[in-house]
Structures are given as structure tokens and as C-alpha cells.
Amino acid sequence: MSTHSATPRLTLHDLRKFAASRKLAMLTCYDASFAATLDACGVDILLIGDSLGMVVQGHDSTLPVTVADVAYHTAAVARGAARAFIVADMPFGSFQLGPEQAFANAVTLMQAGCQMVKIEGGAEMAATVEFMVRRGIPVCAHVGLTPQSVNVFGGYRVQGRGAEAAQRLLGDARALQDAGAAMMVIEATPEPLARRIAESMQLITIGIGASVACSGQVLVLHDLLGAGVGRRPRFVKNFLAGAGSLEAAVRAYVADVQAGRFPGPEHVYAEAAGG
Ligand code: KIV
């Protein structure tokens, strides 16, 4: 079988190899032009996040995003980026009914051009992860602050604070790894807990408001560029400020992540509330 692109697309095998010697840089991306730029700047993984509901569509949460929306943006990103590994988010309501529903919707996203799908949730999603992985769909888990559950959490709050919640989150992470997840986003959890998960897991861990000990980091592209208004979470850093150009900002992010300079202590959460 021959492939057509001059630049071979990164595989999970490549990412595991890179992660043995340096950190991985991941960014969200929603269109072909940004995909080409981020690709040229050396971003390893592009995530078509359901954050597109907020930063592209203007909703106040990710809940209105559909599989068709994510598939549309995934196809655009896949056309724009030749090298980066592409992960697509499974939106709210597209996988919670069970493994068969998740598999069918994941196929739509894989056929749109991603190499992996991401699903939010803990141990309750383990059977769904196992079902998909056994049928050829690589899965990125997403634990901690899972924005699709904002109405259960009562807001966008740091998760895993206190011994009981930390133990539950650790159990979730282990169950998802045992089910076959190859990657895991850890969002908005206290740094010591995120570090403990990252250091005790074999899969690739990607932090956002988590710990520099993770295998890599992710940010929403618009946050990295300082676009948008409103309160910014602690883990956001505007890399465009002072960088001079979009390319310089993205290259600075990639360099800081790869070298373990980002996130700094000011971008992660202490164990006790208020940190
Ligand atoms: O939708 C998204 O952008 C995400 C990242 C913040 C991890 O899930």
C-alpha cells in the first residue's frame, strides 16, 4: 500500500517515541489555515475540541456541539495539516448511550480524518473505551474537569480536591488505561494529583491546568492567542503577547512545552482551594 503525502503523518508509535525523550505539544484547531500554520510550527497533536462550540460558534458551553460539527471541522483540519496527529472530540450525547452509539459516531469522525477520538468521563466509560479500541478506534480519555458535565459540577471547577475525590479520579484514570485508552487529557486538577496520575500511568498524559509532569500539554488555540473576552482560567497563557507574530507565538508555545517550561507553577492548581 502506498501513501500519498510527502510528509508522513505522525502515528501513535511516533508520539510514544517522542514522549520518551521530550514533552508533546498539543493545541486545539478548527480550520485548514490554522492547521497548516500549527503543523509548520511543529505542533505534534491537533485536537478538534468541542470547545469549538464556545470559541467558534459563540455558545456558552460545549453542549450544543454535534457530531456533524466536529466532523466538518475535522475534515478541514486534516486537509490543512500533513504531519500532526489528529484527535477529534466526541461531543455531548454522542457516546453516553453506550459502546455501539460511541463506535458508530467515532467511525464518522475517523472517516472525516482523525486518527483518534477523545471522550470525557471516568470509569463508567471504560466498557465503551474497550469496545472502541478492540474494533480499531484509538481513544484519548479526558478526566478531571470534563466540561460536558458543567451542569453536574455546578460550574467550571477544579476536580479531585480532597482525599476521596482524588482517590476516585485516580481509580478513573486506571480503569480507562486498563480499558485500552492510549492517551489521557487531565484537566483542572490539583498539581500533586495530576503528577501522581502522570507518573504512575504508561499511557500518554496531556495536561491542561494539571502538571508539567504530564507527557505533554494542550491549550485552546484562542487562549494561546489571547482572543476572546471574559475570565481566563489560571492555566491559560497568552503566547502572542510580545511574540510579534502568530508563528512566533506558536513556536514559543511548542518550545516551552517541549522543554518542560510550560506550565509554570502559576498555571497549575495547589491541593488546597484558592491556589
Ligand atoms: O474541547 C477542548 O478544547 C478540549 C481541550 C480543552 C482539552 O477538550
3-state helix, strand, coil split of the chain in percent (to 5) is: 40, 15, 45
For ligand 1, what atom is nearest to the CA of residue 187?
7
Contact at 8 Å (CB) between 177 and 139? no
Between CA 161 and CA 144 the distance in angstroms is 10
Q: What is the pLDDT of residue 274?
A: 46
**179: how many CB neighbours lie within 10 A of its CB?**
20
SS3 142: strand
Distance 22 CA to ligand 1 centre (A): 22
Distance 208 CA to ligand 1 centre (A): 9
Between CA 205 and CA 208 the distance in angstroms is 10
Q: Is 266 a catalytic residue?
A: no
Between CA 170 and CA 191 the distance in angstroms is 13
This prediction has a pTM of 0.96
Q: What is the pLDDT of residue 5?
A: 64
Between CA 238 and CA 236 the distance in angstroms is 7
* Residue of 62, 186, 223 with the most ligand 1 atoms within 8 Å of its CB, for mutation: 62
Contact at 8 Å (CB) between 90 and 97? no
- Angle at which helix 99-112 crosses helix 126-134, to 10 degrees, equals 50
Low-confidence ranges of the chain (pLDDT < 70): 1-5, 272-275
Between CA 84 and CA 37 the distance in angstroms is 11
Instruction: Please report how many Cα atoms fall inside a 13 Å half-sphere around the Cα of residue 73, on the Cβ side.
Output: 27
Between CA 129 and CA 112 the distance in angstroms is 20
Verify whether ligand 1 is closer than 6 Å to residue 216 (CB atom): no
Percent of the chain with pLDDT over 90: 93
Q: What is the pLDDT of residue 7?
A: 81
Q: What is the pLDDT of residue 92?
A: 98
Instruction: Given the residues 120, 130, 187, 191, select the one marked as catalytic.
Output: 187
Nearest CA to ligand 1 atom 6: 220
Instruction: Give exposure, 94-127, as e/b (b: 16+ Cβ within 10 Å).
Output: bbbeebeebbebbebbbebbbbbbbbbbbbebbe
By CB atoms closer than 10 A (0-12, 13-18, 19+), residue 174 is middle
Q: What is the pLDDT of residue 231?
A: 81
Taking all residues of the chain, what is their mean pLDDT, rounded to a whole number? 96
Count of residues in the chain: 275
By CB atoms closer than 10 A (0-12, 13-18, 19+), residue 29 is buried
Q: What is the pLDDT of residue 228?
A: 81
Verify whether ligand 1 is closer than 6 Å to residue 69 (CB atom): no
